[in-house]
Amino acid sequence: MPTTGQIIRCKAAVAWEAGKPLVMEEVEVAPPQKHEVRIKILFTSLCHTDVYFWEAKGQTPLFPRIFGHEAGGIVESVGEGVTDLQPGDHVLPIFTGECGDCPHCHSEESNMCDLLRINTERGGMIHDGESRFSINGKPIHHFLGTSTFSEYTVVHSGQVAKINPDAPLDKVCIVSCGLSTGLGATLNVAKPKKGQSVAIFGLGAVGLAAAEGARIAGASRIIGVDLNSQRFDQAKEFGVTEFVNPRDHDKPVQQVIAEMTNGGVDRSVECTGSVQAMIQAFECVHDGWGVAVLVGVPSKDDAFKTHPMNFLNERTLKGTFFGNYKPKTDIPGVVEKYMNKELELEKFITHTLPFSEINKAFDYMLKGESIRCIITMGA
């Protein structure tokens, strides 16, 4: 291809300062180095993680930066040592990776790769610490090793999932983060049996994906728990059958759920990051066989407190990262669930925008109006 080995000039939405609108700039994207691929991004979407780090709340700010980590595109060129990907492949860049060599990658039980595990503070590439983006010679920081708010980006090959070329990238791009996190928390970790009951704490995008997992698994009752009752109607589309707003009750929500379900739900999935919700999700599962799964990321000073008898009475508490999916090995299979009509993606997509209007996507999310907004690059 004529661009192989060359610098590519393209449009990118650059965050120059925390909380300020992104600015459409012409950036230079360097060729991929060892174990890297350069991808032409066709569609990207906005995740709450992008907004959190753009706002720079609670972490070290790193600007200027190109955000974005949910996307779909086509490989433009590959760097030295890349043997499993080639130009023309349809791919999803992923915020975490699979090197294939570390103990975690060799384990059937873990997806927490030692080399490519999520790193929010790294602004360059692993190979040399340098950025592949620049404007007039000034480096622009990467985000999560993906930086998909650019028409071209460079990603470590271990963070790139090759998918079915027939899959529509404007739909399956949302598989690369939040959707798989919630879906896998239910299907891979909670593992409800057909006919069992599941409680979902938090009905944002990840919680709705967890509910979708419960629907696919054949749960008979899916109880949605959220402090915003306006989310309840929308959640019905994702299989949620009953709703609890803790503010509507004068007793702990775990007690409310226990009374609704004759002793507790069979499985629960917590998707809020609130340590209070984590405790409630654990304490609302049935003794003897109940399993609670924590997905949300707590504040650094939070402490989980529950009586040890809750464990001794044979309740199980688990945590999960990215739904326990290995990015390169497992994510192509999630795409196939959509292609086989097992998984419904369209209902997660509430808005679409041209790349030139990307700041509107931030507005939609900050106002709580969107689940996922698809941004069409080159538009």
**Known catalytic residues?**
47-49, 69-70, 99, 102, 105, 113, 117, 177, 372
Residues 6 or more apart whose CB falls under 8 angstroms from that of 306 comprise: 279, 282, 283
Q: How many CB atoms lie within 10 A of CB 319?
A: 13
SS3 276: helix
Structure tokens belonging to residue 115: 């080399």
Closest listed residue to residue 67, CA positions, set 17, 7, 117:
17
Q: Using the structure block, give the residue that is written with the tokens 């039980």.
A: 109
Q: How many CB atoms lie within 10 A of CB 168?
A: 14
Structure tokens belonging to residue 301: 């000073």
Closest listed residue to residue 38, CA positions, set 196, 155, 138, 118:
155
Structure tokens belonging to residue 120: 């929010």
SS3 341: coil
Phi–psi pair at 139, nearest 5 degrees: -65, 145
The DSSP result for 150-173, as a single string, is BSEEEEEGGGEEE--TTS-HHHHG
Residues 6 or more apart whose CB falls under 8 angstroms from that of 254 comprise: 279, 280, 283, 284
Q: Cα 229 vs. chain centroid, distance in angstroms?
A: 24
